[in-house]
Amino acid sequence: MMFQIWLHAVLLFCGLFSNAIGAFVGVNIQTAVSNMPSAPDIVAILRAHQITHVRLFDADAHMLNALANTGIEVMVSVTNQEVLGIGELPSTAAAWVNKNIAAYVPSTNITAIAVGSEVLTTLPHAARILVPAMSNLHKALVASNLNYQVKVSTPNSMDVISRSFPPSAATFNTTLNSTITQILQFLKSTKSFYMLNAYPYYEYVKSNGIFPLDYALFKTLSPVKQIVDPNTLFHYNSMFDALIDATYNSIADLNFSGIPIVVTETGWPSFGGSIEPDATSGNAELYINNLIRRVSNDSGPPSQPAVPINTYIYELFNEDKRARPISERNWGLLYTNGTSMYDLALGNAEITGANSSSSFCIARPGADDKSLQDGLNWACGNGQANCAAIQKGQPCFNPDTLQNHASYAYNDYYQKMRGSGGTCDFGGTASITTVDPSYGSCRFTGSSNSSGGMFPSPALGPVGPSSESARTVHILHFGTIVVATLCLLQVNLRSFL
């Protein structure tokens, strides 16, 4: 009984703790890429750029296995092709959850299921089955005692809203009201969130010059160009905020409230054809970095200032297999070797570039296993790198991949030896990054917090019989660290109740 009371207290603390962490910026990982890195290499890239949240457009087993024990939060997707079967048969939904969710948690930190992608506007014939599919998945999660950890929703584009400006007058397309009302009822009853795909790039292009480019790129507008909602007098500093508020007001128009919005897709193409003059690397860099700054201030849009805007950027890599227009192939943040398309500020890291003061040597994504193993053996042998942290049971052992272990060993050698001529090469299997690859309690040599872990270690020390109050303080201190760690690792504590 006391254990259950303690767990309930932990769950309450986790709710408060998670709210205090603030908004996050994650990334979408699509698959129409010719030279797609392996799943372990993708995870190494995510960690190198300190990306803590990802959305997968399917439930790929290789990716879900590679993401195990990383702490990265994962949104998996039911493909549009799977929606009909899951909506028609509860047994199909149960089998999907067992295969793609229950088989991986808690090792893989799956926190949400995106049911389809823009089903209402791309597959209107499936609209009737969308909510039954969501409901069947939720019931399957309840049966597996995973409904508290994994939320169910469906991504919608701005096309479901008939007119987005002014935001205060926005409403859903009346032909979709019945289905959207059912979706909102489901989200409200399951304490889930509305998934929104919001693209200022497309809205700006469609506006034909009505809105200034600076407005779409989060750039400061002059007083005479500021965008104001005439009904509320709210000032909108970015089209991104206006699109989110248009969605909140559309939800309110159907008499719903208290359903937070998560932006499941947004971004800006870095290259386009002759008829796409605003799809440029410079505009993409401005949009993405300004977006990250915007989300990171933990505030909501003018109508919901206290509700942070968790956001997933579209997308990790360019999809060269996509059809025209040319811009459709150029939304990626990174090349497939893990280097940035442009200066980038992901995962709470400073913007990286030539002027960064710290550099790290990591295994190059895509390097062949034999060469990596040779490099790892040399670094931990003749190179005299300290490889204790990547041994089993030590803080840098997981994920147990050659890419991860080689990165740690390469960097330890490089940091110790570069002052006397040591290089970051290892037979072409290594590369320099200015993004600190440290994660969790695994700290890479050269990190600004090399000696620390996720939390500072409590100075417990000897406690004598006359120091009962000190003992209590130490126990509470240690307990808080344990609880916070459990919260961050998203341990499914309710399974113990």
* Cα gap 11→6, rounded to integer Å: 9
Peptide bond before residue 365 is cis, with ω within 30 degrees of 0: no
Q: Which two tokens stand for residue 132?
A: 């039954």
Active site residues: 118, 265
Q: What is residue 414's predicted lDDT score, i.e. its pLDDT?
A: 87
* Predicted confidence (pLDDT) per residue in 239-257, tens digit: 999 999 999 999 999 999 9
Query: Which regions in the chain score pLDDT beneath 70?
Result: 1-21, 347-358, 421, 447-497
* Cα gap 340→145, rounded to integer Å: 40
190 and 147 in contact (C-beta within 8 Å)? yes
Q: Domain spanning 24-329 has what CATH number?
A: 3.20.20.80
Angle at 349 between CA 346 and CA 352, to 5 degrees: 80
327 and 40 in contact (C-beta within 8 Å)? no
User: Which regions of the chain carry the CATH code 3.20.20.80?
Assistant: 24-329
Report DSSP letters for 281-347, one per residue.
HHHHHHHHHHHHHHHHT----TTSTTS---EEES-SB--TTS-SSGGGG---SB-TTS-BSS----T
Q: What is residue 416's predicted lDDT score, i.e. its pLDDT?
A: 85
